[in-house]
Chains A and B, each alone.
Chain A
Amino acid sequence: MQRLISRSLGPLALATSVATIVMGLWVTPPDVVQGDLARLLYIHPALAWVALYLSFGTATVASALYLWPRTRSMTADRIAEAAVEVSTLFIALTLITGSIWGRPTWGVWWVWDARLTSTAVLGVFMLGILALRRANDDPAVRAKRSAVLALLTALNVPIVHFSVLWWKTLHQGATVFTDNRDIKIHGSMAWTLLLSFIALSLVFSWMVRTRYRIATESQSQRDRALDDAVAQRRQEGAQ
């Protein structure tokens, strides 16, 4: 069963992504206000949602599991590492696609309003976690420190989410996850938006799984190298 899942994850991610592109570019209608510019709807919000909740949520949970003594394991650390890396990629893409969308719609590439600034701050924190992971070789020390920083970084996520509610921003408020459950999108646009969330969630899953396997493999390689080096020294000692 696990092999079936692992072998189908990649193709499924690819298929749903292609379906999203086809739906988004050709099947869905243009918007009354934004026209064809609204088609960026089928990539930008999903990137943001996956980056903040699915991906960084995974990193947060994995970090918490690592720090809790009863569930501490290098598996949790490797998952956290993979998830933080993918989160960083997705948040960078969120900012880039958002900027591309903003230029023709708002009229500017960037503003320092609360939503964009808090997202950028979150991205910088994620880069900080990646930098921290390279600052120390000891696996246990590295795991603990990056787990703590990941949990601190997670405090940014609600700030990003509520920034459009707490402050006056250029970035518009929520379309689906609104305060009063009033969904502001319908028909094929709504379904394609949902499809984009599913597609990018699958892409994330595939990326994290691949990255996790790379981390496991390189750990095995380091263990084997250690065993070989020890055996070699023993041999030299015996001579």
Chain B
Amino acid sequence: MSDSTPLELTPQSPAPVRASRRRTYIVLGILVAAVGALLAQGMLSSLNYYKTVDEVFADRASVGTREVRLEGVVQKGSVQRTSTGANFVITGVESNQVRVNAIGEPPQLFRPDIPVIVVGSFTNATGNTFRASQIMVKHSAEYKAKYPDRVKAPDGSVR
């Protein structure tokens, strides 16, 4: 097996000497400084994927009618399925409510009391009606077994 692929042994000129090491460090330093400057400039907050309902209520003017992703919990009893999608209310704290008119079938995990992220914009600069073109369900990190015969406490809760 070792005879079948003979090594290339003809003399070759050596590889060119690398440019100065100092230049490498300078370039690296500039790169690190650039990244640091970008991060310090508040780029970090743009890495947030959405604004919450409470954040919007705290600073409504900054949102206006821009296209945003808005996160809130679906209010129990507020869901109305329509021919084109669904209308429902999402909340942060109970008093901060946004009426969402969504186009398109919601994802299968969509239900009351679950956090969702809606993508779209408010219909006017000061109101709380939001037209959404997309709904994403933000399920929690908790896993609880679904046992239909589970014994429930008197108040209806399960452990």
Contact = CB atoms under 8 A, between A and B. Distances in A.
Interface of A: 28-35, 38, 41, 104-108, 111-114, 117, 166-170, 172-175, 178, 184-189, 221-222, 224-226, 228-229, 232-233
Contacts of B7: 222, 225-226, 229
Interface in B104-147: 106-110, 114, 117, 134-147
B139 A108 contact: no
A30 B110 CA distance: 17
B143 A189 contact: yes
Contacts of B136: 106-108, 111, 170
Contacts of B5: 225
Contacts of A111: 49, 136
Nearest to B117: A170
Interface string B39-80: 000001001111010000000000000000001000000000
A159 to B, nearest CB: 10
B47 A31 contact: no
Given A169-B49, A225-B2, A104 B108 contact: yes
A117 B47 CA distance: 9
Contact of A33 (B44, B49, B139, B147): B139
B2 A224 contact: yes
Contacts of A32: 144-146
Contacts of A189: 143, 145
Contact of A106 (B9, B107, B143, B145): B107
A169 B143 CA distance: 19
12 contacts: A31-B146, A33-B109, A33-B144, A35-B146, A104-B109, A106-B139, A107-B107, A114-B47, A168-B49, A184-B143, A225-B7, A228-B2
Centre residue among B2, B71, B117 by max chain A CB count within 10 A: B2
Contacts of A172: 138-141
Interface of B: 1-3, 5-7, 9, 44, 47-50, 52, 71, 106-110, 114, 117, 134-147
B64 to A, nearest CB: 20
Q: DSSP majority for the B interface?
A: loop
A28 B137 CA distance: 24
B2 A175 contact: no
A232 B7 CA distance: 11
B138 A170 contact: yes
Nearest to B8: A229
A229 B143 contact: no
Centre residue among A29, A170, A175, A233 by max chain B CB count within 10 A: A170
B141 A170 contact: no
A168 B117 CA distance: 11
Contact of A168 (B50, B134, B139): B50
B138 A167 contact: no
A173 B144 CA distance: 16
A186 B136 CA distance: 27
Given A114-B47, A228-B2, A175 B109 contact: no
Contacts of A233: 9
B67 to A, nearest CB: 15
A239 B23 CA distance: 51
A34 B143 CA distance: 9
